[in-house]
Structure 1
Amino acid sequence: MLLLISLFSGCKEKQELSEQDFAIKWAEMTLFITKNTPSNSPTYSSRCLGYIGLTMYESIVNGDSTYQSLAAQLDGLDSLPKPQKDKKYDYKLALNAAQATILKSIYNQTSDQNKLKIDSLEKAIYENYSEKIEDKLLIDRSVSFGKAVANAVFEWSKIDGGHRGYLKNFDKKMVYPHKLGSWKPPLYGQSFSHYPLHPHWGENRTFLVQNHQIPDPTIIPYDTLPNSAYYKQFLAVYQQEKALTQAQKEAAIWWGDDPDETFTPPGHSYYLATLVIKKSKPSLIKCAETYAKVGMGVADAFINCWKWKYKFFTERPNTYITQHIDQRWESFWPDPPFPAFPSGHAIQAAATATILSSLYGEKFSFTDSSHVGRKRDELRNVDFKARHFESFWQLAEETANSRFYGGIHVPQDNQAGLEKGKVVAENIIQLKWKK
């Protein structure tokens, strides 16, 4: 919104947009819409970010001599619009039009007010940048091309199984598996619903065929004997909750990313990509590559995670500990409304960390200030304090550990998530991004 104010302020000299601004401003708008759209969820937002990031990349890739389109490399995406060979295009204008189009399409349920904000940003960037271009046919051609790319990506998105998934968050007809150690609706939970979130999300099409073929993680078999490996998983959570430090409590609430209050865990990953881009100032094509990889990474990570969550349908500590260790125990953080194994936070954080490490190096110092300024959590006596990291993987491990500190995941949930998130990311990295 500050960009809009500066562009229409009436100053003699309008704000000059940097190359990165064309990507960053749209990423920030994406996070605003993600946070402020009703009926959103981590699953649905991860899907949206995948298509939004891919659209950014595809809208400009034809303007770079070293990169190439991902059409025919992704599952079911046989082709995308191509620029006319004998015509010139301005791909920054194409990106601007494409992002506005895909954002309003993919987040169709957002408010009319939010759609006006999208329109305003598109207009501000268009007017600020296009006034320097004399060829009006080139301008129109570039805008039309960006919209065509976005519309093609959106049409492809409609058949992935998650289209308008916000209309079917909970399946009230679902029959729960009856087995020892199965998930049960929490008494102390984040949601009022006693039905699990998106039980069929794992059936959705992944962006990559390879990410649909990842082998299942290994799980420790159910047991109630105190010396068993399964019992020790929950005992570790119980003992940790009894010894939580203030720093661990701060980590637990920082990575909560409740979709009712924040831009969701996948949105947090998109935010981190923006943070890195602001610090590194890469070329526009690398900005788009970053958002495309992170977006598709969190999307495919969540599809796989949900597939395994509903295949194994495992309980959370609030169920097992109260039955077998301490009847009065409560987790530090409330249970989310879906099965435990593996951890969604861990798998998407690992995918993001692996991707960002491949693009910007394993050693990268940065500070996450995304929740600074949020109201203190009086119930848990914790403030939202910025988190500093020396590497992306350090962040991924803290994200996973935060769920352990919160008492809603046992160690094996996090370990499996971290391991499989790496696999998802490596498959994305190995696509033929360059010619």
Structure 2
Amino acid sequence: MKKIISSLCVIILLSSCGDKTIEEPLVISPEELHASVDKVTEIMIHDIFSPPVASRVFVYPNIAAYEIVALNNDDYLSLAGQVHGLTAIPEPDASRPINYQLAALVAHMELSKKLIFSENKLEAFRDSLYGRWDSKNHTLFNASKDYGLKVAEHIGNWMKEDNYNQTRTMPKYTVDTYDPGRWQPTPPAYMDGIEPHWDKIRPFVIDSANQFKPAPPPDFSLDENSDFYKELKEVYDISNDITKKGDDSEEIKIAQFWDCNPYVSVSRGHLMFATKKISPGAHWIGIAQVASKKSKSDFDKTVYGLTKTSIAIADAFISCWAEKYRSNLIRPETLINQHIDEDWLPVLQTPPFPEYTSGHSVVSGAAAIALTDVFGDNFSFDDDVEVPYGLPVRSFNSFNEAAQEAAISRVYGGIHYRSAVEVGITQGRNLGNFIIQNVKMTKNKDLVSNQTE
């Protein structure tokens, strides 16, 4: 009888153990965040987003992830009340366990999905993560996912108020053919000017699109003794000089590395199609990832670095685009073909919007300031962001050095005058400094990396 009872006890014990789900702890790595950012970048290139719109695709998901991180990490401070219109995110349900990194990544992917076109590509990536997390710890995964979605909804509602939807219905840019100094569409696609109303997008930290209004460009003139004509001729002379050196010239390598033009059009007979390229903002988000990996930043600091950088980039585009359509300056290619050399072609294809100031210069200046604030000055790094797009690694001693090269690349490429890049990078740096001075994201400045070689 005792043997029967003992056997029953063993069966009951084994049965109960079999019914019990063993739930593992969930550790969300920075590599998973990097993979998500890379996937979004890949989709953006596929979908062909303009540089200003691409900056919007990055900034809102990063802020959503950051706000969740800041709620659970005493080293970080919420952006609510510091960024225009942003209110505190909802509190989590105290009765349910939350993995805050998982919730942050869920919010990041959910907001990203709302901002791209090819949602199915991101959903496939997301579902692969969901399946793995769910199989490890169903209870914790579901509670964390629910909270991430709740925060994504909160940030999404704030996002809807930034005037983006309203700008979709505003009139296209109108070409003024009577003013010889005003921008005109350029070959080969002769596209309309993109995002002429981007100055109406709600900024994140700067007071308005006009806060960092730069000095105007040199007065338009085709007098050979004028400052404007001298800059025009300089573009032509530099282009001819480096073209004679061939594709191995350092200037051409620099121009191609920082091209970042999502609108490059290629003609094949009667067909015209766009090649896939990264945007300027996406390149600098990639540099933020490079720095995070090199400094071995944990998940929370990686989110912090990406968020500060993306805010600087987003406001830089708002500031720059306001000036582009204010000064509405004609591109070098148009004038050189009309007045100097009808067969001349720039090293890079001219992008479809006015010349002044240089977008890459403004954005690079602002992003470099933000990244220096996060990772420290003289942070050397190998920029491999463009490797997937057929370009080699370039190495830099600091973020500011990289920004300076990005700026001058536009002159080497034949798409900007010198004033546009010199004034532009100053405009970006001033804007970047304003952001780091007016937005407090950390309690402890020791979070800045003190890299040693």
Shared fold per TM-score greater than 0.5: yes
Structure with more relative contact order (C-alpha pairs < 8 Å, separation 6 or more): 1
Q: Give the 5 Å matches for 1:20-419.
A: 20-36=30-46, 38-84=47-93, 89-107=98-116, 109-124=117-132, 126-127=133-134, 130-131=136-137, 136=139, 138-163=140-165, 171-172=171-172, 174=174, 176=176, 178-186=178-186, 188-189=187-188, 192-210=189-207, 212-218=209-215, 219-244=217-242, 245=245, 246-259=249-262, 260-372=275-387, 374=389, 384-419=391-426
Closer, same or farther in 2 for the Cα pair 1:331/1:171, shift >3 Å? farther
In structure 2, C-alpha distance between the alignment counterparts of 1:302 and 1:75, rounded to whole Å: 16
In structure 1, C-alpha distance between the alignment counterparts of 2:432 and 2:158, rounded to whole Å: 22
In structure 2, C-alpha distance between the alignment counterparts of 1:209 and 1:359, rounded to whole Å: 19
Aligned length: 401
Closer, same or farther in 2 for the Cα pair 1:410/1:172, shift >3 Å? same
Please state whether the residue corresponding to 2:162 is helix, strand or coil: coil
Distance apart, 1:76 and its partner CA: 1.5
Distance apart, 1:35 and its partner CA: 2.0
In structure 2, C-alpha distance between the alignment counterparts of 1:403 and 1:173, rounded to whole Å: 23
TM-score by length of 2: 0.82
Distance apart, 1:25 and its partner CA: 2.5
In structure 2, C-alpha distance between the alignment counterparts of 1:94 and 1:164, rounded to whole Å: 31
Closer, same or farther in 2 for the Cα pair 1:121/1:163, shift >3 Å? farther
Q: Retained in 1: the 8 A contact 2:320–2:362?
A: yes
In structure 2, C-alpha distance between the alignment counterparts of 1:339 and 1:325, rounded to whole Å: 20
Alignment deviations for residues 78-110 of structure 1 (CA, whole Å, 9 cap, x no partner): 332233567653211211211221111122x21
**Counterpart residue number, 1:9:** none
Closer, same or farther in 2 for the Cα pair 1:95/1:18, shift >3 Å? closer
In structure 2, C-alpha distance between the alignment counterparts of 1:371 and 1:294, rounded to whole Å: 18
In structure 2, C-alpha distance between the alignment counterparts of 1:91 and 1:419, rounded to whole Å: 38
What letter matches 2:413 in structure 1? G
Please state whether the residue corresponding to 2:392 is helix, strand or coil: coil
What letter matches 1:149 in structure 2? V
Distance apart, 1:267 and its partner CA: 0.9
Closer, same or farther in 2 for the Cα pair 1:235/1:158, shift >3 Å? same
Alignment deviations for residues 33-78 of structure 1 (CA, whole Å, 9 cap, x no partner): 2222x24211111111111211121121111113121112111223
What letter matches 1:73 in structure 2? Q
**Counterpart residue number, 2:427:** 420
* Unpaired stretches in structure 2, ≥5 consecutive residues: 1-23, 263-274, 444-453
Q: Retained in 2: the 8 A contact 1:22–1:95?
A: no
Closer, same or farther in 2 for the Cα pair 1:370/1:346, shift >3 Å? same
Distance apart, 1:22 and its partner CA: 4.1
In structure 1, C-alpha distance between the alignment counterparts of 2:431 and 2:278, rounded to whole Å: 22
Larger-Rg structure: 2
Alignment deviations for residues 249-268 of structure 1 (CA, whole Å, 9 cap, x no partner): 11111111232412322111
In structure 2, C-alpha distance between the alignment counterparts of 1:330 and 1:99, rounded to whole Å: 42
Closer, same or farther in 2 for the Cα pair 1:177/1:43, shift >3 Å? farther
Q: Retained in 2: the 8 A contact 1:309–1:342?
A: yes
Distance apart, 1:370 and its partner CA: 2.5
Q: Which moved more, 1:316-325 or 1:393-402?
A: 316-325
What letter matches 1:144 in structure 2? D
Closer, same or farther in 2 for the Cα pair 1:280/1:332, shift >3 Å? same
Distance apart, 1:386 and its partner CA: 1.7
Q: Retained in 2: the 8 A contact 1:62–1:83?
A: no
In structure 2, C-alpha distance between the alignment counterparts of 1:328 and 1:351, rounded to whole Å: 36
Please state whether the residue corresponding to 1:243 is helix, strand or coil: helix
TM-score by length of 1: 0.85
Q: Retained in 1: the 8 A contact 2:61–2:108?
A: yes
Alignment deviations for residues 282-334 of structure 1 (CA, whole Å, 9 cap, x no partner): 23222111111111111111111111100100011112223343343221212
* Unpaired stretches in structure 1, ≥5 consecutive residues: 1-13, 376-383
Q: Retained in 1: the 8 A contact 2:219–2:228?
A: yes
Q: Retained in 1: the 8 A contact 2:175–2:184?
A: no
Q: Retained in 1: the 8 A contact 2:206–2:435?
A: no
Identity %: 29
Please state whether the residue corresponding to 1:75 is helix, strand or coil: coil
In structure 1, C-alpha distance between the alignment counterparts of 2:155 and 2:101, rounded to whole Å: 18
Closer, same or farther in 2 for the Cα pair 1:303/1:66, shift >3 Å? same
In structure 2, C-alpha distance between the alignment counterparts of 1:39 and 1:284, rounded to whole Å: 29
Closer, same or farther in 2 for the Cα pair 1:281/1:127, shift >3 Å? farther
**Counterpart residue number, 2:17:** none
Closer, same or farther in 2 for the Cα pair 1:262/1:203, shift >3 Å? same
Please state whether the residue corresponding to 2:397 is helix, strand or coil: strand
Closer, same or farther in 2 for the Cα pair 1:423/1:81, shift >3 Å? farther
What letter matches 2:185 in structure 1? P
